[in-house]
Chain A
Amino acid sequence: MKKLLSPLIILSCLASASAIAANNIVDQRNLQFVQESITIQAGETVIFKNSDRTAHHIQSKDNGINLNSPLTPPGHEFSYTFDKAGLYTIGCFIHPKMKMTLTVQ
């Protein structure tokens, strides 16, 4: 019985983790962030996927952070953990028309 419970617990944890991750994945496509805004909890990580044909370069300077990602080519992703609560405007250095907001609670 114990042997059966362990895999179930692991499976349950994995399912929960992937659900959180799905909420925190921001896609970049057609020169825009697919999600205009998302809300996360402090300490969570956001993954910025690049599904575009061109490279992007994530940036934000709100709430005391200086987010300046490496260049993210198509098919790659960049992740960042937001520790401080507040409202963040996220942009792309190369394509300034790309904007989204991130609320960290």
Chain B
Amino acid sequence: MKRDILGVIGLFCLLLTNVAFAGAGQNTALHDLKAEYERPVSIPAPDTNPLTDAKVRLGEILFSDPRLSIDQTMSCASCHDPDFGWEDGQQMGLGHDGSRLKRHTPTLLNLAWAPLLGWDGRFESFEDQAKSPIMSGAEMGMTSQLAAHRVHAIEGYRAMFDEAFPGEEISLDTIAKALASYQRTLVSPEAPFDRWIQGDETAISNSAKNGFLLFNGKAQCAVCHTSWRFTDDGFHDIGLPHASDLGRGGIVPGVTTIQNAFKTPTLRDIAKRGPFMHDGSLKTLEDVIHHYQNGFTKRESVSWSIKGFELSGGEQKDLVAFLKTLTSETQTALPTLPF
């Protein structure tokens, strides 16, 4: 009898130990998972254009200056508006003459860490990218000479260029370097998710916490939307129905994997950035989840990572709740032109 009682007590202790161990294991796993999302402490910049305060201040003014467009109606900020997560809230971008562009305006957030820029990755540096919309006939419609001439004609700019680029002339290259420097500083502000990662358990709801587990687990979003920036900097065909835009396939032809493939965008400030996708075809985050769940077009080039999944209605809400925690409450104001 005594042996039986001891046996039961022993078994009970073993069970308790196992439960405690399992709980500790889960906590460790969650701790490790959260560690993958810690933010970096500094912004990278190339040796050929190191970040300086003078360049960033100059770039910030140029970014908001419509004199960099042919008819002086459109600045970089016309399409990249901080209130819309540095997008424009429209399905497709807009040119200086009011015509629609072929793709949705991408965000500028956290691109200092991106190896390639643009939906199709055609730009290898911010310095190259910054010239493109200024020179594009469909966007700002300028020439390099006219851009340099207009800026040079303004005394305030001449002083700022002297400080930012001593000994260098005002040119499209130095304009682009200043814009690149400013855009590298467009880092998503701290969001509730970051406060949770730092240990504040009250920063996000239990629903959002469950959404985080779904994001990393059943829904497999984190396979591509990875790290603190929530992107793998990769190119994927996500199975949107209209495949006339080859995306990365237009830059690197003949490779099935990257036909109709577009760069994985960050999910930071996502609640401000609808509509979604490179063609702006999905209006809400719920639409996006439905697309990845079972709404994507199946074709040979569709990303290996996109396989569909089953989520209950409650789980979908949890996932949306989590995604919204990636949006900061911080308001960013653009400067008033000083001259």
Spell out A's residues near B (CB within 8 Å). 31, 53-55, 57, 59, 68, 71, 73, 93-97
Contacts and interface: CB of A to CB of B under 8 A. Distances in A.
B233 A53 contact: no
B233 A68 contact: no
Question: Chain B interface secondary structure, helix, strand, loop or mixed?
Answer: loop
B295 interface: no
B116 A96 contact: yes
Contacts of B257: 57, 71, 93-94
Interface of B: 115-116, 121, 223-224, 226, 232-236, 252, 255, 257-258, 261, 303-305
A97 B229 CA distance: 15
Contacts of A94: 234-236, 257-258, 261, 303
Contact of A68 (B121, B234, B255, B305): B255
A55 B305 CA distance: 7
A97 B232 CA distance: 9
A77 to B, nearest CB: 15
A45 to B, nearest CB: 23
Contact of B252 (A31, A73, A93): A93
A95 B121 CA distance: 11
Given A93-B258, A96-B115, 17 more contacts: A31-B226, A31-B232, A54-B223, A54-B224, A54-B232, A55-B303, A55-B305, A57-B255, A59-B255, A71-B257, A73-B304, A93-B235, A93-B252, A94-B236, A95-B234, A95-B235, A97-B116
A94 B264 CA distance: 10
Question: Chain A interface secondary structure, helix, strand, loop or mixed?
Answer: loop
A53 B236 contact: no
A55 B232 CA distance: 12
Nearest to B305: A54
A71 B116 CA distance: 21
6 contacts: A31-B234, A57-B255, A59-B255, A71-B304, A94-B234, A94-B236
B128 to A, nearest CB: 15
Contacts of B224: 54
Nearest to B252: A93
B255 to A, nearest CB: 5
Contacts of A93: 235, 252, 255, 257-258
